[in-house]
Amino acid sequence: MKNILVTGATGFIGSHTSVELLENGYNVIGIDNLYNSYKDVLLKIEKITKKSIKFYEGDILDYTLLKKIFKENRIDCVIHFAALKAVGESVEKPMEYYYNNVSGTLNVLNCMKEFDCKNFIYSSSATVYDKDNSIPYLENYKKSATSPYGYTKIMIEQVLNDIYVADNDFSCVMLRYFNPIGAHKSALIGENPKGIPNNLMPYICDVAMSKRKFLNVFGNDYDTIDGTGVRDYVHVVDVAKGHVEAMKYVLVSRGNIGINLGTGKGTSVLELVKCFEKVSGKKINFKICPRRDGDIGEFYADTNKAKEILGWESKFDIEDMCLDSWNYIRFNT
């Protein structure tokens, strides 16, 4: 049985990936400092899979703890989710983001080197693509960022490229997620950010639960189907399954490649709102506001590389995503 170290294991994507790994017969060793997640996620994962994660509560910045984990477990592959992810906050607190996301990742990679573990899957993001690229976004497009958060992803992608140049036995897939939403069908795990949500779907859920009066729609004057921003929403369970495929690939190959995880389809803010209203029966009040700084009108993924290399394609549609997000929120808040 392969032992997979999942950093950020109790987070949104980490928890869903842990479920898929356990259900596919892998041992999961998890680490999380619970900065943006809750410990009871572990019990929920156990309830879904009837299996448990070997969990270490702590920080990837703690090298002593990382060494302990590698000493106590023969790690075959690391799937690295642990990071801070709020774009706006990263502009206010750049040092926190560079320290946590860059130094934290370097710590993990150093420890892997010390223990001769050469298989790595990195949580990258569509945010690494320069906004002037034409859509759909291809993996070989020019990269650039508009926030410290985005730069942490670009910097680590560069580090991973350089590690491979120096050591051709290194095997890595950098998965560039577009906009993961939705939740596990069981409604036991899902997206539960601490504080005010930054992303669209958690905000819509807050309005549906009457925690907020209305949704601020950031701009209706883009050159899109209805003027509102268009994104490639992808179900988190599809994203999690993409990690299992990436991991199988990483274990038998060598190299470092970037691969998009998206559906290849764009959905506007108002289309998502309408779909959510339909599946939930809840009215989502909204106000049109000015554009949000740094936003662009439309982007979605080219998904051919994921299909060709990993044999992965998304299965769930926008209705599934809205329904699963809603079910998770209404049963858990």
Q: Which residues are catalytically annotated?
A: 149
Residue 203, contacted partner among ligand WQD, ligand NAD, none, CB below 5-8 A by kind: ligand WQD
Burial of 283 (0-12, 13-18, 19+ CB in 10 A): exposed
Is there a contact between 282 and 329 (Cβ–Cβ < 8 Å)? no
Residue 292, contacted partner among ligand WQD, ligand NAD, none, CB below 5-8 A by kind: ligand WQD
DSSP 14: H
Stretch that binds ligand NAD, among 66-74, 135-143, 172-180, 281-289 (CB under 6 A): 172-180
**Closest approach of Cβ 281 to ligand NAD, in Å?**
26
# of chain residues touching ligand WQD (CB under 6 A): 18
| Residue 229 engages ligand WQD in binding (rule: CB under 6 A) | yes
**Closest approach of Cβ 75 to ligand WQD, in Å?**
25
Helices within the chain (DSSP H only): 12-23, 41-49, 63-72, 87-92, 94-97, 104-114, 148-166, 200-208, 236-252, 269-280, 304-305, 318-332
| Residue 180 engages ligand NAD in binding (rule: CB under 6 A) | yes
Residue 3 vs 296, nearer CB to ligand WQD = 296
Residue with tokens 């998304």: 314
CA 77 – CA 2 distance, rounded (Å): 8
The single residue among 177, 222, 276, 286 that binds ligand NAD, judged by CB under 6 A, is 177
CA 48 – CA 50 distance, rounded (Å): 6
| Residue 322 engages ligand WQD in binding (rule: CB under 6 A) | no
| Residue 125 engages ligand WQD in binding (rule: CB under 6 A) | yes
| Residue 269 engages ligand WQD in binding (rule: CB under 6 A) | yes
**Closest approach of Cβ 218 to ligand WQD, in Å?**
4
Residues in contact with ligand WQD, shown as a per-residue x/- string from 278 to 297 under the rule CB under 6 A: --------------x--x--
The single residue among 85, 118, 143, 184 that binds ligand WQD, judged by CB under 6 A, is 85
| Residue 87 engages ligand WQD in binding (rule: CB under 6 A) | yes
Residue 81, contacted partner among ligand WQD, ligand NAD, none, CB below 5-8 A by kind: ligand NAD
CA 126 – CA 145 distance, rounded (Å): 10
Is there a contact between 120 and 170 (Cβ–Cβ < 8 Å)? yes
Cα separation values, 83 from 11, 34, 47, Å: 10, 11, 26
34 φ/ψ sector (left φ>0, alpha ψ -120 to 50, else beta): left
CA 50 – CA 289 distance, rounded (Å): 46
| Residue 182 engages ligand WQD in binding (rule: CB under 6 A) | no
CA 313 – CA 157 distance, rounded (Å): 23
Residue 69 vs 215, nearer CB to ligand WQD = 215
Phi/psi of residue 122, nearest 5 degrees: -110, 135
List residues binding ligand WQD (CB under 6 A).
85, 87, 125, 127, 179, 198-200, 203, 215-218, 229, 231, 269, 292, 295
